[in-house]
Amino acid sequence: MKKYEHWEFLSAVLDGSRIARGICAMDLRTMEIRTFPADAIIVATGGNGAIFGKSTNSVVCTGSAQSALYQQGCYYANGEFIQVHPTCIPGEDKLRLMSESARGEGGRVWVPKTLNDKRDPKSIPESERWYFLEEWYPKYGNLVPRDVATRAIFKVVYEYNLGIDGKPMVYLDLTHIDRKTLDRKLEGILEIYEKFVGDDPRDTPMKIFPGMHYTMGGLWIDYKQSTNIPGIFAAGEAEYQYHGANRLGANSLMSCIYGGFIAGPNAVQYAKNLQAAPGNGHFDAERKRQQDINAGLMKADGSENPFLIWRELGALMTENCTVIRYNKKCQEADARIVDLLHRFQKINLSDRSQWANTTIAFVRQLYNMLQLSRVIAQGAAMRDESRGSHYKPDFPERDDKNWMKTTKATFAPDLDEPKFEFEPVDASLIPPRPRKY
């Protein structure tokens, strides 16, 4: 078996009957665009964390492959369902998890009571600190469940505007705990923070913030792991099948292992029974379509910086489409994404070389992220209930009567926007009941 590493998936090759016959990809070194014939395709490209700017995902998890297939006709399901981890270490490149054991061992979450307080946190008196979890939830304090802690942090940062230095961060403080106790119980996670931030959390409160962690939504598949386009299968975080509105602890492994276990044999069986295509002109047509996209990008000489567009997208999605959702804000986010798509048409490439041009690859991913982010924002606006990770203060209860449904988005190329339909979830074998802490 030959592995094609350092290639970027661009699209599926579809014949005149819209049956997948292979893929189109780009060599990230030579920039060659090439088609690969295949009787069946299995997509296992992970989540879409980069849509939210920074996440705990790998930086290559952009959702670009899923978005490209969505734009070619695949259903994208439950896009509005994404999971957020409450305590992440901010970084220049990505977020890293800070284990919840820090709160479990006595860590206290707080912010300065004064807006944009620039003082060293160690010099801020207790009376001028706001331990908001302890005030709002006196019974549990800093031990509230992760979704409650996450919502509270978001409320303090985005509604009270009390983030550290005006940024989306709060303090997680362990400095009141004996150093020997910290070393015995938490040494591993404290070393991670010290390595990536440079501060010793035994002496200095940690700066943390909730971060996008997992994509429950993904490509729609059936029980054979097949999408609605014949010949395209999906497994792992790239598909939606096993999570609903929340991902339980080990279910990412289940999705990966079981999904792959089912997708592989079914893809082989499908390929064995596939009728030959009447011709092969679709390969040349798809390669030319992708070459034309690259050629157009190489000529782009506008004034917009694509990296700044991505940064704006990440901030927009994190603030409006993660933990706390309001219909008006989700709709405004979608309108601003449309504006970002218009600005994308005026980008300027900083690199026009024909060798290892990372800017071209990033710009193509950015366009796909913008299109997929509209699915997330619109899906969140439509779902008028609170379910799992999807929380709306205006609709605080789960609504099984109206919303025990899978959201299915398809791309409307004539309108350049998603269309939605809903598929009832069969819960007849296990009647649903409220999930309460």
- Contact at 8 Å (CB) between 168 and 318? yes
CA 224/CA 219 separation, integer angstroms = 13
CA 284/CA 288 separation, integer angstroms = 6
The two three-digit tokens of residue 269, written as one number: 């069986």
CA 400/CA 405 separation, integer angstroms = 8
Beta-bridged to residue 41, according to DSSP, are 232
Beta carbons within 10 angstroms of residue 30's beta carbon: 13
- Contact at 8 Å (CB) between 39 and 274? yes
Beta carbons within 10 angstroms of residue 380's beta carbon: 27
**Residue 350: what are its φ and ψ, rounded to 5°?**
-80, -15
Query: CA torsion, points 202, 208, 211, 214, in degrees to nearest 10?
Result: 20
CA 143/CA 107 separation, integer angstroms = 9
The two three-digit tokens of residue 135, written as one number: 């005030």
Amino acid 219 reads L
The two three-digit tokens of residue 170, written as one number: 């709060």
Q: What is the largest CA-CA distance in the chain?
A: 77
Strand boundaries in 321-377, DSSP class E: none
Q: Sign (positive/negative) of CA torsion 129, 132, 133, 139?
A: positive
The two three-digit tokens of residue 203, written as one number: 């002496």
Distance set, CA 320 to CA 147, 159, 316, 390, 421 (Å): 16, 12, 6, 12, 23
Catalytic residues: 146
Whose CA is closest to 14, among 84, 72, 82? Answer: 72
Whose CA is closest to 379, among 77, 28, 42? Answer: 77
Strand boundaries in 270-428, DSSP class E: 405-412, 417-424
Distance set, CA 53 to CA 48, 218, 366 (Å): 10, 18, 11
The two three-digit tokens of residue 12, written as one number: 């599926």
Whose CA is closest to 91, among 158, 169, 161? Answer: 169
